[in-house]
Structure 1
Amino acid sequence: MRIIRVGSRDSKLAIIQAKIVMDAIESFDKNIKTRLVTMKTTGDKILDKTLDKVGGKGLFVKELDEALLNNLVDITVHSYKDVPMEVNPDLPIVAVSKREDERDVLILPKAKRDEAKPVGCSSKRRTIQLSQLGYTNIAPIRGNVITRLKKLDDGEFSALVLAAAGIKRLGLTHRINKYFSPEEIMPAACQGVIAVQARKGENVDFLKGFHCEEAEKTSLGERAFVAALDGGCSSPVAAYARIEKGKFVLSGLYVNEEKGIVRKGSMSGEIKDAEKIGIALAQKLKGEK
């Protein structure tokens, strides 16, 4: 019996996502057993500052990368939107999940809503787009999804904006009050996609039953767009790709806070050109083309 050690953050959502991968591995090969190895990342420990102030979302993968490099685990599982644009070439992304709901959602408190309290929101991407929708009182919030929901229900906020994917995977769909369409709030690149990393050159055939090629293509295009804008995970950029009638269609959001520029646009083409389209759209929205 072969054992595959699966590294994950120790939040409830991260563990649920790791178990989705583990179930897929064990279903694919009955001779494999998986073992969960959880750890707290720097991003989980620093909760009194916004991510852009402490080094971006790369803080959620640092410890997991080290565990993988040091052979303490065989694969690591991430929300793909938390993975920095620069991936260590020795730790490639080897599989991605089918995309869960890519939208952002509004969640209200269980008790009576105090409209004087702010809407809790964790990213500049959401804050800028919420402002365009007429939301004026927005405040940053940190912590995992369960922690944020507790802050909401304790009366610290009038509402939260979170990713639908995480809420659904936690079995909390009943808490969703409103879905924002991608046109209203464009999602973060790869929102709703789970990514798996492994050491370069290792055999990961056991992930064949988990991997989704369509999500791989849309993710590549979205990440190429963000990377071309030099946008780390905490930058106020957004990208949303889908495959429609055999074509790759990408929408993107470009923000230049210093100049007060907020631009959205889209571009389509052949699926095989997903990354080229991502780069071309970024250049177009920056005004370089």
Structure 2
Amino acid sequence: MELSAGEVIRIGSRKSRLAVMQAELIRAQIGRAYPGIRTELVTMKTTGDKILDQSLETIGGKGLFVKELDQALLDGTIDLAVHSLKDLPMEENEELPIAAYSVREDPRDVLIFRSGTEVFPQNGILGTSSRRRAIQMKRLYPYCTLQGIRGNVQTRLRKLEEEGMDGTILAAAGLKRLGLELPGRYFSVEEMIPAAGQGDPCRTDPKRRKITAHVRNVGMRQTALCSQ
């Protein structure tokens, strides 16, 4: 099942630097598998990207990171959308199933220290809005103080310095893809259970069967199995 000459696969992504890099990984995989296929990157800001002064639980949950991309798929504005698995709601959208997963990255979490420090104090201030990370940090550092922090990687690193926090927790996968080497502590998966999966799932509209077939052919079966 081949695409017609001149057809383009439009790949949807959030606008953050990390999201674009992850979409480019998928774009490269498609290019290697199908050298004759043209691809185009379409970026957009989601509701979750726009509202940064409230917790996700307050404004509607993780689905706010995918709402606009899902609608673009249904409208036909894009042909596939690239997400981080941890940003998808637990309930799968039956209209827009996951067609494939990219290569899985390092699943660990990293405690990033404020500049000029080499350790997180036992009674330090930790910036995180993740309940999973907060609960586990309280077990590792019972005297730490939790402070909400939202935004992409660069925004959270800036807030770490500007708002007087001693540390924040970021995904090792994101740091590695951005090429960032920062002072911090890489937690083992036994110390801090990571988010389920660090592959980048691609959603497609199954009615566009040719697109779905091409995307499935470049997916990584091992990542899919790890993400079940």
TM-score normalised to the size of structure 1? 0.71
Cα gap change, 1:11 to 1:21, in 2 (>3 Å): same
Name the counterpart of 1:144.
152
Say whether residues 1:182 and 2:189 are aligned partners: yes
Name the counterpart of 2:214.
206
Shift of 1:70: 0.1
Name the counterpart of 1:47.
52
TM-score normalised to the size of structure 2? 0.90
Shift of 1:2: 2.8
Shift of 1:117: 5.7
Q: Give aligned-pair identity as a percent.
A: 46
Unaligned runs of 5+ residues in structure 2 are: 1-5
Cα gap change, 1:208 to 1:92, in 2 (>3 Å): closer
Amino acid at match of 1:63: E
Q: Which of 1 and 2 has higher RCO (CA within 8 Å, sep 6+)?
A: 2
CA RMSD of superposed structures (Å): 1.8
Shift of 1:98: 2.1
- Contact 2:111–2:168 under 8 Å retained in 1: yes
* 3-state DSSP of counterpart to 1:126: helix
- Contact 1:96–1:212 under 8 Å retained in 2: yes
Moved over 3 A (4+): 111-117
Of the three residues 85, 88, 111, the one matched with 2:116 is 111
Instruction: Write out per-residue CA displacement over residues 240-277 of structure 1, whole angstroms, 9 at most, x where no aligned residue.
Output: xxxxxxxxxxxxxxxxxxxxxxxxxxxxxxxxxxxxxx
Amino acid at match of 2:172: A
Of the three residues 100, 105, 124, the one matched with 1:100 is 105
- Contact 1:24–1:207 under 8 Å retained in 2: no
Of the three residues 138, 161, 165, the one matched with 1:157 is 165
The whole-number CA distance in structure 2 between the counterparts of 1:111 and 1:155 is 15
Name the counterpart of 2:3.
none
* 3-state DSSP of counterpart to 1:194: coil
- Contact 1:81–1:193 under 8 Å retained in 2: no
Say whether residues 1:133 and 2:143 are aligned partners: no
Aligned residues, how many? 218
Amino acid at match of 2:83: H
Shift of 1:40: 0.6
Shift of 1:119: 1.1
The whole-number CA distance in structure 2 between the counterparts of 1:137 and 1:209 is 47
Unaligned runs of 5+ residues in structure 1 are: 221-289
